[in-house]
Amino acid sequence: MVSGCHSQVGQWRERFALTFALAGNPNVGKSSIFNWLTGMGVLAANYPGMTVAVNLGTTHFKGQEIGIVDLPGTYAIGAVSEDQWVARQALLESHPDAVLVVLDATRLERNLYLSLQLLDLGLPVVIALNLVDEAWRGGLEIDHHRMRRLLGVPVVPTVALRGQGLDRLVQAGVEAARMEGARSTKRRYGKDVEDAVAEIGDLLAKEGMALPHALPPRAAALLLLEEDEELLAWTGALPDGERILTKVRECAAEVGERHGEPASLRIARERHGLAGAIASQVQRLTSRPSRVQDRLWRLTTSPLSGYLLLALTVTGLFGFLFSVGNLLSDLLASLWQAYPSPAIRGFVQLAFGEGVASRTLLWAVDGGMDAALSIGIPYVLVFYFMLSLLEDTGYLNSIAFLTDPIMHRLGLHGRAAIPLIAGGGCNVPAILGLRVLTTMRERIIAGTLICLTPCSARTAVIAGAVSKYAGWKPAVSIYVITACIAFFAAWGLNRLLPGQSAGLVMEMFPLRRPSLAKMLRGTWSRFRDFLFVAAPALLVGSLVLGLIYETGLLWIFTAPLAPIVEGWLGLPSVAGLTLIFAVLRKELALQLLVALAVAKYGSGVTDLLQFMDKGQIFTYVLVNTLYIPCVATVGVLSKELGWRRALLISAFTILLALAAGGVARQVLAVWTL
């Protein structure tokens, strides 16, 4: 794959005299270290076709500015998965002066694998032994001096959450960068592997060519034995490439024959063996770890208690979302209406008079803001906070574990449950959360499912129209119908789309005590994404629709819509217009329905039942729930999946909504509510 990001990471690197890369397994506190070092000013670099981003930031140390390249959390550097590929590419392209590898002290054995791999690449490594406090609480003592001697690189114990040890970490990085010559190229594996590596390395060195990414010959030889695609392709293109590749195959076959497994697997095995040996030499169990946390965690994954806890958690979360969200919504809306709104109205009317221009502008700056404050922001903010809580405690993993069977039938796996749950609050963050899924196939299926998940705005319409005028049973049946349609849509997509779903392979972490500071940071970084994507779409959309409404252009759409709205769905034509408007924000459908009804039928028509019957209200809300989520959602959808897929999904939901609406009308004609 061509790396279009070369310029981005490469240019970043050129801006600083010193650049560090930050590497580590997922969930080891790497982002905490990154946040501590760089503050909030973060730039994300993307590789084309990849959704995993590389964060770029800067830190200051003794008057010097240091560039930090934060690699995605991975178990290894390679090409097996998207995150590994991005990590590998950014690492090699950034030519870091030092690589700070963050290790989870409680899982040293597995974590050391990545450190050894980075050492094998000949990179100057500094180890941040993180979560030492957690290890200590679990009765695990780690001799970091001994670890330093065994690995031959600096080891700095850290507690990233509290920023402990980070000054010394940066200091060690600066020192490691200075000792450029002292990069570890020593032999560490079995004789067979090392002999093969030496033989290939010598051959490469004799070629006299500069190796890609300035790799030392030993590193390149190891990568060739590990069947690294980039290195194989590079070697093949050399004038004498075929001879070298033949040698590589010979050496690999010899190792394979002696050990009864492919050379690449043999290297992985020896690396694991070494990691295990180092871990057992440096760690000591001082006391039996407390079983309470462990038992609690077991409860969250064991079948009986697990599903019960999941049901309680989801109910509790939605209860929290609606109660706190409502409270915040009322508060923000009344604050807005009390002070800024009258001021803005006054100002706009003073500047632009009372005409169409002024009223159009007010749609955006007053109406749009009002909606953002009363619908978007409160629910999204609360939702993100809950998501951070689930994430920080580690309960999200248990949710993924429990929901995997059902997700599997839809061509997804357990990790998709997380964005789907998010979709119940707001589709926008849910779609941004699709990044946890590794293939485009999974993202398309999950993206479609999310679009069909009623968000809080759609719930507001269901509650305000169906539940209010037709009772709770039809309201609940809207959810049931939507859930069935979504399930079958995903099931069908799973059958239709080529390829098959990747299986679940997910590390499970015991429950952790959440940190409020970390949760707030997580909430804010997600919320910022939402603000930058959704808010502009909302304001511009409000402006355009305000213009159509205020200039009376709106009524032009009545006639072309009539066959669908009146003929097929059996709804009054104004209802169709509001459905178009609701593309902006789903809850607008209801507010506008009343407003337009007043405009068309005269004042006094404030009760929906005066111009629609219960069946029509039901059909109307069903269509509103199913078709295109909203402008902001389509915006992020095209950002994450590409505009073509976003348009296809949107078109699909429109057809689905019309089909469901038409069927509902026919059924309701026979079977009245």
Partner 1 sequence: MPDDKGNLPLPDLQCLETVSHLAIPLDRFKPGMAGTIARIEPEDGGLLRYLAVLGLIPQARLEVAEVAPFGGPVLIRVGRAEYALGRDVASKIFVEAT
Rounded Cα distance between 277 and 43, Å, is 39
Nearer CB in complex with partner 1: 3/501: 501
Rounded Cα distance between 571 and 497, Å, is 35
Q: Is residue 457 within 8 Å of 630, Cβ to Cβ? A: yes
Nearer CB in complex with partner 1: 249/345: 249
Task: Report, in Å, the least distance between residue 218 CB and partner 1.
Answer: 17
Task: Report, in Å, the least distance between residue 140 CB and partner 1.
Answer: 9
Nearer CB in complex with partner 1: 205/299: 299
> Is 600 an interacting residue with respect to partner 1 (CB under 8 A)?
no
Q: Which residues 530-549 are close enough to bind partner 1 by CB under 8 A?
A: none
Nearer CB in complex with partner 1: 414/576: 414
C-alpha closest to that of 163 among 28, 23, 29: 29
Nearer CB in complex with partner 1: 341/494: 494
Q: Give, as one character, the DSSP assignment of residue 122.
A: T
Task: Report, in Å, the least distance between residue 558 CB and partner 1.
Answer: 50
Residue with tokens 């290195």: 231
> Is 654 an interacting residue with respect to partner 1 (CB under 8 A)?
no
Select from 27, 264, 313, 349 the one that contacts partner 1 (CB under 8 A): 264
Site string for partner 1, 322-361 (x = CB under 8 A): ----------------------------------------
> Is 505 an interacting residue with respect to partner 1 (CB under 8 A)?
yes
> Is 298 an interacting residue with respect to partner 1 (CB under 8 A)?
yes
Nearer CB in complex with partner 1: 97/442: 442
> Is 36 an interacting residue with respect to partner 1 (CB under 8 A)?
no
Select from 198, 265, 539, 595 the one that contacts partner 1 (CB under 8 A): 265
Q: Is residue 619 within 8 Å of 565, Cβ to Cβ? A: no
* Number of other CB atoms surrounding residue 346 within 10 Å: 10
Task: Report, in Å, the least distance between residue 231 CB and partner 1.
Answer: 15
Select from 503, 552, 602, 604 the one that contacts partner 1 (CB under 8 A): 503
Cα 436–441–447 angle (5° rounding)? 65
3-state secondary structure of 188: coil
Stretch that binds partner 1, among 404-412, 556-564, 572-580, 645-653 (CB under 8 A): 404-412
> Is 272 an interacting residue with respect to partner 1 (CB under 8 A)?
yes
Task: Report, in Å, the least distance between residue 504 CB and partner 1.
Answer: 3
Pairing of strands 54-61, 43-45: antiparallel
**CA–CA distances in Å: residue 232 to residues 203, 217, 235, 254:** 14, 14, 5, 18
Task: Please count the residues of this chain forming the interface with partner 1, following the rule CB under 8 A.
Answer: 46
In whole angstroms, how large is the CA radius of gyration of the chain? Answer: 29
**CA–CA distances in Å: residue 547 to residues 544, 586, 597:** 5, 19, 19
Alpha helix ranges (H) inside 260-302: 263-282, 291-301
> Is 20 an interacting residue with respect to partner 1 (CB under 8 A)?
no
Rounded Cα distance between 394 and 400, Å, is 11
Residues in the chain: 673
Structure tokens at 34: 């990154």
Phi, psi of 259 (to 5 degrees): -115, 0
Select from 397, 523, 624, 650 the one that contacts partner 1 (CB under 8 A): 397
> Is 301 an interacting residue with respect to partner 1 (CB under 8 A)?
yes
Structure tokens at 12: 């970043």
Nearer CB in complex with partner 1: 62/288: 288
Rounded Cα distance between 300 and 210, Å, is 53
> Is 81 an interacting residue with respect to partner 1 (CB under 8 A)?
yes
> Is 517 an interacting residue with respect to partner 1 (CB under 8 A)?
no
> Is 402 an interacting residue with respect to partner 1 (CB under 8 A)?
yes
Site string for partner 1, 58-77 (x = CB under 8 A): -----------------xx-
Give burial (CB, 10 Å; 0-12/13-18/19+) of 573.
middle
**Which positions touch partner 1 (CB under 8 A)?**
75-76, 78, 80-81, 106-110, 113, 190-192, 258-261, 264-265, 268-269, 272, 276, 298, 301-303, 306, 397, 400-402, 404-406, 408, 413-414, 503-509
